[in-house]
Amino acid sequence: MCELKEILATKVSGPRHIVSNIIGIILRCMAYDVEPYIIKGLEAVDEIILALPFTRYGWFLAIYQLVGRVENSRVIVYYNSAKPRWTASYIIHELSHKGLDIKRSNLFDAIIDETLAYLASFKLGFLDLYEQGIKQYIKSAFMYKAVLNESYEYELVNTILPRILARRLINYNYSYIVNESVNNFHRLVTLWLNTEPTLEDRKALAIGFIFLNIDPLEYGLEKPNEALKETEIEKYPQVVLEGVDKEFIEMTKILEKAAENPSRLRDILAPWWNEIEPILDDLEAYITVYGTRKFRDSSSTRND
């Protein structure tokens, strides 16, 4: 634990009292079987930046609607002042990716990688932060048949299915799960089934598999018998951005206002211009995408 504390102190950057708080949360929650992977992840990064609201990196994450992002050898994580456990959870998640270093060569590897990253966070006691979202998806998933698109496929692979899997694996030793499941998706699902998931759990996972053209029968899951309701993808129960505070939401609203009034961009963002100027390319890309989305939505409304 002393080694972990020393490495964290050299890697995490931000105001001293905030850094101390986040490191304290991580150390108090650390699980012995996860720690070697976190240390390995720390060795693979140069810096962990705590992105405060209305700072350069806070705006950067708000632009991309992210709470965490890996940029080469840097990990950028949003600092949630209201609930800093979210910040600690995201750090563990990203360091797990780095420590595991799984080559995501296909869809199955991607699900394994995300499952193990969420599992590391859950084993440190952060499952309660995600529990409501997981239960909501499980409760409603088997009621719908969504029209799969690229965006929703990303959510299934990177968020929804990994959380459903990781949630029930926390009683296994982490190294055991890693050794058994890396490059072996079938084994990961088998270990999950061995935890005796509920019928609703199995249905939710099976429907996620069907959306991704994975046959649930090949993995010991039942195909749902219910007639599934057709719905537009926008209405399907999806995971929303979690772990943000009111300041993050305020930044997103300011960005939307700027995107809707590009001729007044500098005036709207004047109080934070020095922070935003280094990421103008990212801001310009956001404005372009925002404008395209608004045009598409308005066209859809007219056609209706």
pLDDT in tens, 217-264: 999 998 876 545 444 444 444 446 789 999 999 999 999 999 999 999
What is the structure's pLDDT at 210?
87
pLDDT by residue (tens digit) across 112-147?
999 999 999 999 999 999 999 898 888 776 555 544
pLDDT tens-digit series, residues 149-203: 556 788 899 999 999 999 999 999 999 999 999 999 999 999 999 999 999 899 8
Whether residue 5 is predicted with pLDDT greater than 70 in this model: the reply is: yes
**What are the tens digits of pLDDT across the range 207-220?**
889 888 999 999 99
pTM: 0.89
The domain spans of the chain are 2-100, 107-235, 247-303
Range 269-294 average pLDDT? 90
Task: Encode the chain in three state secondary structure.
Answer: CHHHHHHHHHHEECCHHHHHHHHHHHHHHCCCCCHHHHHHHHHCCCEEEEECCCCHHHHHHHHCCCCEEEECCEEEEECCCCCHHHHHHHHHHHHHHHHHCCCCCCHHHHHHHHHHHHHHHHHHHHHHHHHHHHHHHHHHHCCEEECCCHHHHHHHHHHHHHHHHHHCCCCCCHHHHHHHHCCCHHHHHHHHHCCCCCHHHHHHHHHHHHHCCCCHHHHCCCCCCCCCEEECHHHCCCCCCCCCCHHHHHHHHHHHHHHHCHHHHHHHCHHHHHHHHHHHHHHHHHHHHHHHHHHHHHHHHHHC
